[in-house]
Chains A and B, each alone.
Chain A
Amino acid sequence: MEQSREELWDYFTDTDVLAECAPGCKEMTLQSPHEIDAVMAVGVGSVKPEFDVDVVVTRTEYPERLEMTAVGQAPRNEFETTAEMLLEENDDGTTVSWSATADVSGTIASLGGRALKSVTNRLVGKFFTDMQEKADEGVEAESELEAAPADEDVALGSDEDVALESDD
């Protein structure tokens, strides 16, 4: 992206912007600077569950690193994910790299198993394209997120069956 890391940081930490760019996002509410509640409908194959998602920001290193965990629950489906985003300076602006591991359970894993990886990659790609558009348009953005205090328990499962990476 052409923008500087500092400029982009605001976009990636503004829940209004995130809500507009996150695929399938129906609602997003900032509960505290490190907690977001969201409702997201994710369709993979023939299933499209609507997840109640709890996001916890676990680490922020302005302006280069953002880590969060998310647990999504829908009838007959559940996911847990840990995502990391790195902002690195380059000659033309910033390289944004994003990686996540997810543990997906339920019909979305069984029915969408074949398509899960490609669908995820497409959704992630769309997210960053939309984000880039927002930044290029110069939409107002304000950083709202900060990491949860270290003592807060955000224990998550350690399974890493679906490893997804997307560079933008």
Chain B
Amino acid sequence: MSQSQPTEVDTETDADSERESFTGQGLPRVEDHRILTGRAEYIHDITPENCLHMALVRSMHAHAEIVGIDASEAEAHPGCELVLTGEDLRGEYNPMPTGIETVTTDDGEEAPIEEWSLAADTVRFVGEPVAAVVATNRYVAEDAADLVDVEYESREAVADGMAAREDEVVVHESVGTNVVDHERLEFGDPAAAFDEADHVVEGEYSWGRISGVPLETAGVVAQYDEEADAFDIDCNIQLHTLVDETIYETLGYDADDVRVNVPADVGGSYGTKIAIHRYCCLAAMASQQLERPVKFEEDRVENLQGGDMHCSERDYRMRMAVDDDGTMCGLDVWFVDDFGAFPRYPVNQVLKPLSVLTNSYVIDDVSYEYDLVLTNKTSQTAYRGFGVDPHIYALEMIVDDAAREIGMDPTEFRRRNLIRPEQMPYTLPSKNLYDSGDYPATLDRIQEIVDEERDGGLLDPEIVEAKREEGKYRGVQPSVIIEPGVSGSDWTDRQRSDREDLEERPREEVDELPEHLRATVGEDGTITAFLATDSSGQGHQTLVSQLLADELEVLPSDIEVDYLDSVDAPTEYGSAASRMAVMLSGATVGVAEKLVRNLEAIAADHWDVSADEVTYHDGVVERVSTSETLLLADLAAIDADGDDHRRSVSYNYDHPATELEEFDEALAQKLPVYPTAAFGANAPIVEVDVETGEVEILTFYTVRDCGTMLNPMIVDGQAHGGIAQGVGAALLEEFGYEENGQPQAITLFDYLLPSIENVPKIEMEHTETPSPFTETGAKGVGEGGMIDAPASIATSINDALEPLGLEAPADRIPVAPDHLRKKIRDRER
């Protein structure tokens, strides 16, 4: 860490003499000024000259054959320039890459699952695009889209994951089954654990179709350059250097011919924009056909209905083996995940829970099994938490049920089974490691906070009793949380690998993607860093400014942070899976070291002395013997005159797990590798109105630890946002479907997002237990809140309704009023 003493800072957190570094300070985000003053340029602000606009004709049927498409009326419409149909795409382009490429059929054949940017023969979900209409503006395009006459022959649809397993209606006929991926993993000896335990507790829990709904919808501007036979695609896709293959492969071009560029400002993604490639492909195809720029902006109904952006929808059957003394002996996890019509790229979210398989508990014998099924619904993509949120929810539910079964206080039951600090780093049965932390201390602290509320506070017995008279049931049940951070990349294609061979796979075959960062000193002496990842609100520019300022002993205001497009940047994972705090800090340290060495070399050559006769500090290189200095601007000017270009450097920071042999087994076997474990405990105090079934969260207490906090304000912001999304998931949000596959929530009138009315007061405490596995001690913190709040709200609802004697009142997410009312009514009967 730098020893620099900045003397002047042009922000409100003026430097004081005590400060040793910018890192660790709540430096206001450099992004916020332009965002708050309306100067941020989003994809929707980009409209090149001569640009045409695209609208899509979408299926209104969940499952139907396309008998014919008559586009003549649309094509004749004034201002309409092009109508593309699925047939038009077949000769010239390719299907889009999918997460499960082929499925072995009953005949032993490998049947491919093909998804085209436009459906041609069959539509498989309401909202699936069947034609793209390009016109002078969006209004004309919409009008013309209405004139495209598509004749359908409707077929029976399947819109329920459990029902889809029966294969009575098959979504992809050529494949012959809806269960397109399945795995059962066993760790330890679960059969023996269940045989020998005093009790076996079983529970069924379900998690509704919930996802992120960014304020900014998907958008793309594609320009085909005929001379170069190449594309320039501006869009707000997430992971543009990783998933750009979904665009260039579909177009049938090489990676270098398709330049994907993401603006510095994206209005939220939360994972969902990983899968907007359909729009990028269609705009690019239209641009190529017309040799003009083509823009597409998704509207809200499109986003909610058919934007390929829904996330996990699971039915769980959990079993826990438990002894009378409160020891958790075994865990059996089984679930079905309804992926919708196509198994899109992030199929590995059924596996990510393995990284936190037993949450914060010691359970050695575990089985984990899932069916990944397809239905006639819009496809899944990633959402904050990436499939861990339902797992933690179902696990905390079975923990509650098990405590009840053995008659032990649920908090005490949890405490007895927590991983203890002396067991750190702790290897899970599923081979991932938790890096550091005192979990019992965290649970004790949250219990202390709750106990304070029992004494004259929200949970004072007299108040609780009086409220109960009014039909308002208060309660809280603390629960524990783990947020896995910094995903490796190698394991993510486990489902496309030969799983039987993985046990024998040599460690040398593991190929992790490093984090790439560049920095260059400008002629004015300022430094520009270039990220190879895109951002969608996380504050990466701030983070890199802080870190680089410390490393180079300059001010954050001397540093600009810019972005590389997919052609200039190497393929890397990018900003997902709570990675960037760790990966960017490692990369920043590395790039700064390299830059300092180069700057010293420039100066040494200039003075014609050896490198050890110069030293870098505070933005200058000093000649030790004479105390002469060269400023960064001087060094840049000297370098500009030469041929070496040493003032520009790039650095690849290797994934931290690759440096640690503790992870070798997980890495080699392609089991989820997440080398940081942020942890904590939650205690939302809830009040359930038994007359209406509504749940109000009176205060959301949380104690969290994400290792070293690089920027506490950003850490707080991540947790606040995540908890808000977790509240939405727990109580409000769901993409419901009719049995015939008609979606029920295609506007924000039906897909209920949490607002100021529902987001509770959040009382947050932090502890800081540095990660021994990372450069700065930071742990990933991008998905917390969404991962843990639903589980915590559910356990608190269970506690609140305990006096009614309902069986697992919160056995489904969202715990919407109708669900609770039904439970209460059924009991009254």
On A, residues with C-beta under 8 Å from B are: 75-78, 80, 103-107, 109-111, 113-114, 157-159, 161
Contact = CB atoms under 8 A, between A and B. Distances in A.
A161 B739 contact: yes
A111 B126 CA distance: 13
A78 B123 CA distance: 15
Contact of B746 (A77, A107, A161): A107
Contacts of A76: 58, 60, 146
Interface of B: 58, 60-62, 126, 145-146, 152, 154, 156, 301, 305, 738-740, 742-747, 750
Given A76-B60, A110-B126, A159-B156, A105 B742 contact: yes
A78 B738 CA distance: 16
A159 B156 CA distance: 7
A105 B154 contact: yes
A110 B746 contact: yes
16 contacts: A75-B146, A76-B146, A77-B60, A80-B154, A103-B154, A103-B740, A105-B62, A105-B126, A105-B742, A107-B301, A107-B746, A110-B305, A110-B744, A113-B744, A161-B738, A161-B742
B102 to A, nearest CB: 31
Contact of B60 (A78, A114, A157, A158): A78
Given A75-B146, A76-B146, A157-B154, A105 B744 contact: no
A160 B740 CA distance: 9
Nearest to A161: B740
Contacts of B152: 78
Q: Which applies to chain B's interface (DSSP): helix, strand, loop or mixed?
A: loop
B156 A110 contact: no
Most buried by A among B62, B305, B740, B744: B740
A109 to B, nearest CB: 4
Nearest to A79: B60
Q: Ordered nearest first, which 10 A-B pairs have the shortest CB separation?
A: A106-B60, A75-B146, A109-B742, A105-B60, A110-B746, A157-B154, A161-B740, A110-B743, A159-B740, A105-B61
A105 to B, nearest CB: 4
Contacts of B301: 107
B547 to A, nearest CB: 47
B824 to A, nearest CB: 23
Contacts of A77: 60
B385 to A, nearest CB: 26
Nearest to A74: B146
A104 B746 contact: no
Nearest to B301: A107
A157 B153 CA distance: 8
A52 to B, nearest CB: 10
Contacts of A159: 154, 156, 740
A80 B58 CA distance: 19
Contacts of B750: 110, 113-114
A91 B305 CA distance: 52
Given A105-B126, A109-B742, A161-B739, 13 more contacts: A75-B145, A75-B146, A78-B61, A104-B742, A105-B60, A105-B154, A110-B745, A110-B746, A111-B747, A113-B742, A113-B750, A158-B156, A161-B738
Contacts of B145: 75
Contacts of A80: 154
A41 B740 CA distance: 24
A11 to B, nearest CB: 33
Contacts of B146: 75-76
B805 to A, nearest CB: 33
B742 A110 contact: yes
A105 B145 CA distance: 17
A111 B60 CA distance: 12
A49 B747 CA distance: 17
Contacts of A111: 746-747
